[in-house]
Amino acid sequence: MDRLINFAAGPSMMPESVLRKIQDSILNYEGQGYSILEMMHRKPPFEAILLELKSRVKSLLNVPDDYEILFCPGGGKMQFGMVPLNLVTPGCRGGYIVTGTWSRMASEEARRVSREVTLWAGNGRDLPDEVVEVPDDADYVYFCDNETVDGTEFQGLPAVSCADPVFVSDMSSNFMSRPFDVSRFGAIWAGVQKNFGTAGLACVIVRRNLLGNAADTVPQMLNWNVYAKSNSLQNTPPVLQFYTAMLMARWVEEQGGVAEMDRRAKERSALLYSAIDDMQDFYVGALPPEVRSRMNVVFTIADKNLIKPFVEEAAAQGMINLAGHRSVGGLRASLYNVMPIEAVQKLTVFMKDFAGRHGKFH
Ligand code: PMP
């Protein structure tokens, strides 16, 4: 099959083997004579999918036994509200480190549904490099591990003033792309449509002793504890999304697990950043090396008039969705788990050729 190279920030590329498996399952699930779309969610075939999905997430990320793995419909933004509704206790506040678009939105939502305190706010091109002060009444320290729009990625946990912080992290755009120590977090969550499936579902990994704090007025469907108690089956779940995430978990494992995903991510992003750095009179705006995301490479062209032709010519060569987020403009190449290194090589060859044709780097 002739497939385009899709540099979109999400939904993003999926492995052809997974797409084919879904295609087969839509018509006839495992030869059972019915479609995955018709599958009952309280019968053994779906229970098997859910069990495999959960156990693969647990083993891929080495999730300790005192954590619950939940799957919540509603995608990423739903968690912006669910985090404070489930974790802010009476009289206290959710603490937010604001490094870009998605952490800002999360902090605004927390203010809307609960009480919020901004612990640190940057300019969208930086991350805290000093110790972040955390007041006593902050129930947690929230940060977005990878800012999809701005192109920054934390290289480790932020340094904070308190001894035993409850870190909560949005890992939507770097989930399953590297190993990390789950036990250092109170909760991590990810909308799954970048590295781990299709839109409309979030995976939440939360330490069990943090559950049960939601007020009685919180709707059942927004209460993590309800998901924990019902094995994420509190209502009719989006079966296809669960199945797709399970197939993606299988794929990550077959490919060598999250350490291998990290190796590939570093290789891909290093190749692209070095191309940008080598042509830095033409391609500009790349972030400082110490905050650069391995997933979303944000840059632009010095001559703004060339951005549109760049995006169009790349698309004509089969490389689509290279325009930056509508709020920031410029260019962005998202390099998630499924993106082959050859695709990034092709992009860098095109970039050199494009810069050459426009008067530079012959
Ligand atoms: N957080 C991050 C880091 C994201 O990149 C996105 C989506 N691009 C979201 C949250 C929101 O996810 P959704 O569109 O599924 O609500």
pLDDT at residue 357, rounded to an integer: 93
Is-catalytic flag, 102?
A: yes
Residue ranges of the chain whose pLDDT lies below 70: 1, 360-362
pLDDT at residue 1, rounded to an integer: 65
**99 Cα: distance to centroid of ligand 1 (angstroms):** 15
**17 Cα: distance to centroid of ligand 1 (angstroms):** 25
**47 Cα: distance to centroid of ligand 1 (angstroms):** 27
Beta bridge partners of 204: 70, 189
**Does this model's pTM top 0.85?**
yes
pLDDT at residue 2, rounded to an integer: 82
Beta carbons within 8 Å of 94's beta carbon, 6+ residues apart: 83, 84, 87, 88, 107, 110, 114, 115, 116, 117, 138, 139, 140, 142
- The domains located in the chain, with CATH, are 16-255 (3.40.640.10), 257-357 (3.90.1150.10)
Query: Catalytic: which of 21, 139, 194, 262?
Result: 194
Is-catalytic flag, 170?
A: yes
pLDDT digits (tens, 9 = 90+) for 206-241: 999 999 999 999 999 999 999 999 999 999 999 999
Average pLDDT for the chain: 96
Q: Which residues sit with their C-beta closer than 6 Å to ligand 1? A: 10, 75-77, 102, 144, 148, 170, 172-173, 191, 199
Identify which of 148, 169, 193, 334 to mutate to test ligand 1's pocket (most ligand atoms within 8 A of the CB).
148
Best CA proximity match to 314, nearest among 5, 2, 3: 5
81-97 CB burial, b ≥16 within 10 A, e <16? bbbbbbbbeeebbbbbb
User: How far is it, in rounded angstroms, from Cα 156 to Cα 314?
Assistant: 34
pLDDT at residue 362, rounded to an integer: 46
Is-catalytic flag, 352?
A: no
| Token code pair at residue 315 | 């698309």
Q: How many CB atoms lie within 10 A of CB 273?
A: 18
pLDDT digits (tens, 9 = 90+) for 90-122: 999 999 999 999 999 999 999 999 999 999 999
